[in-house]
Chain A
Amino acid sequence: MYRWFHQLGSPPTFYKWSGQWLPWLTFVCITLFVVGLYGGLVYAPADYLQKDSFRIIYVHVPAAWMSMFVYVVMAFSGAIALIWHIKLSEIMMLSSASIGASFTFIALITGSIWGKPTWGTWWEWGDARLLSELLLLFLYIGIIGLYSAIEDKRKAAEAVSILALVGIVNIPIIHYSVIFLNTLHQGPTVSKFDSPSIETSMLIPLLIMALAFKLFYIIVLLMRSRNELLWRERRSQWVRNIIKGTGNV
């Protein structure tokens, strides 16, 4: 088991299996996006109160979920990189940062666009959910910045891992801010112990979109990691073999 795990994480093996998986993942992801968007924009009925403007949920909520999920993955890879010094997990951590930042940005922007017609304001500075999500964006940007600022990339990954691990305290704050505090943002609709407060016909497209977003993350993560890996290992034999097109990886 450990041996298998170790092999999977070795750069040439990772490069090989990720290359084989990518086309399939892409196919499934596109299918899920098409089905999910059709379900969300056409099949799902309009909300009784918000009418059609509620449909932004199909982008906003998956993006917001992913902004937190990616952070946890990133911090977890950071911990692995710190403890075991596995190069691949350093790369995964770094590749996750900019994807997570993009998801956070999408969640903030779509939330703002929805907030204007629903709440009557683009942004509310006193709202703990909005602020903690904005803090998450700054954490991501800080991580990207810190990594770029340190010349020695192994050292940079170490510093970034620690920052990512410290910042993980923000994740429960984002989730529980709407439960323990008075906020403008509503409480959780789906991720709670009670049954979801959303009609099944509206919920199913949301879950499909959430899955599509997750796959999208995995695909982009693999692609970015492959690029970064090639660059870091550019002097090694297996990369030279790929470039020459001679050896099989």
Chain B
Amino acid sequence: MHPARARRLKLVVIMLIGVFIAGGFAFLAFKENLMLYFTPSEVAAGKAPTGQRFNIGGMVVDGSVIKSSQSVDVQFDVTDYDKTIRIKFADILPDLFREGQAIIAKGKLNTEGVFIADEVLAKHDETYMPKEVADSLKHKNKPGYDKTKPSPSPSPSPSP
């Protein structure tokens, strides 16, 4: 190879290595801040900011959803299969909201440790399947559980 080209090739490779190292460090440094939500375990461990708005993410616990008959008030529990936190919400839930669904709630913890949400988002998981497949899977385990989350305890939910 022409020496000038070899030199430029070397410079480009060095630049790329430098950029990736810098990018890697920046990513590690900002990782904490790039997290969109805290899990119930992190909240229980006191990692979430107190007296300030933050986001909480987890699975809606089966059978925990209590809807008010007079208003849109709703109360439910979210879990990461380790710790569970109660959430209260007084607005319209997203269409995908259901038991066993991963959600993200935005709001504040009150003094009793209940999370008062002012916004609830449904987090869709990466599985796509037709209704028939989902129905036949229901007998084994419920679809929609995020399998990437740690230690899902053997689901005690009775199949309908």
Most chain A CB within a 10 A radius of its CB, from B36, B143, B148: B36
Whether B36 contacts A120 by the Cβ 8 Å rule is: no
Interface size class of B (residues with CB under 8 A): 35 or more
0 or 1 for each of A106-124: is its CB under 8 Å from B? (1 = yes) = 0000000000011111001
Q: Any chain A CB within 8 A of the CB of B96?
A: yes
In chain B, positions 91-147 with a C-beta closer than 8 Å to chain A are 93-96, 104, 119-135, 143-144
Is the C-beta of A181 less than 8 angstroms from some C-beta in chain B? yes
Stretch in A19-27, A42-50, A145-153 touching the partner: A42-50
- A220 contacts chain B at the CB level, 8 A cutoff: no
Please name the residue on chain B nearest to A192 by beta carbon.
Answer: B126
Complex partner residue of B124 from A50, A162, A173, CB under 8 angstroms: A50
* Contact across chains for B19 and A166 when beta carbons are under 8 A apart: yes
Whether B130 pairs with A45 at a CB distance below 8 angstroms is yes
Are A182's CB and B35's CB within 8 A?
Answer: yes
Docked-complex contact B95 and A121, CB < 8 angstroms: no
Q: Is the CB of A180 within 8 A of B124?
A: no
* In the complex, B34 has a CB within 8 A of chain A: yes
Does B37 touch A at the CB level, under 8 Å?
Answer: yes
Tell whether A184 pairs with B129 under 8 Å between CB atoms, given A49-B96, A126-B55.
no
Q: How far is the CA of A162 from the CA of B9 in the complex (A)?
A: 13
Does B94 lie within 8 Å of A184, measured CB to CB? no
**B residues near A173, Cβ cutoff 8 Å:** 23, 27
Q: Which of B129, B144, B148 is in CB contact (< 8 Å) with A187? A: B148
A79 to B16, CA, bound (A): 10
Query: Knowing A182-B36, A184-B36, A197-B128 touch, does A165 contact B19 (C-beta < 8 A)?
Result: yes
The stretch that binds B, out of A97-105, A198-206, A234-242, is: A198-206
Total number of residue pairs linking A and B with CB closer than 8 Å? 122
Complex CA–CA separation, A128 to B16 (angstroms): 23
Known A79-B12, A183-B36; judge A198-B128 contact (CB<8 A): yes
Whole-angstrom distance between the alpha carbons of A126 and B38 in the complex? 12
Within 8 A of A (CB), among B19-57: 19-20, 22-23, 27, 31, 34-37, 39, 55, 57
B67 to chain A, nearest CB (A): 17
Instruction: Judge if A246 is at the interface, Cβ distance under 8 Å.
Output: no
CB distance from B147 to the nearest CB of A (A): 9
Q: Which residues, 127 to 174 on A, are CB-close (under 8 Å) to B?
A: 127-128, 162, 165-166, 168-170, 172-173
User: Does A14 count as interface, using CB distance less than 8 angstroms?
Assistant: no
A82 at the interface (CB under 8 A from B): yes
Chain B residue, CB-CB nearest to A177: B34
Q: Which of A46, A120, A170, A197 has the most CB of B within 10 A?
A: A120
Which residues of B are interface residues toward A (Cβ below 8 A)? 5, 8-9, 12, 15-16, 19-20, 22-23, 27, 31, 34-37, 39, 55, 57, 93-96, 104, 119-135, 143-144, 148
The contact sample of 5 A-B pairs, CB cut-off 8 A, is: A48-B131, A119-B96, A165-B12, A165-B16, A186-B124
A-B pairs, 5 with minimum CB distance: A120-B94, A48-B134, A169-B23, A45-B130, A198-B128
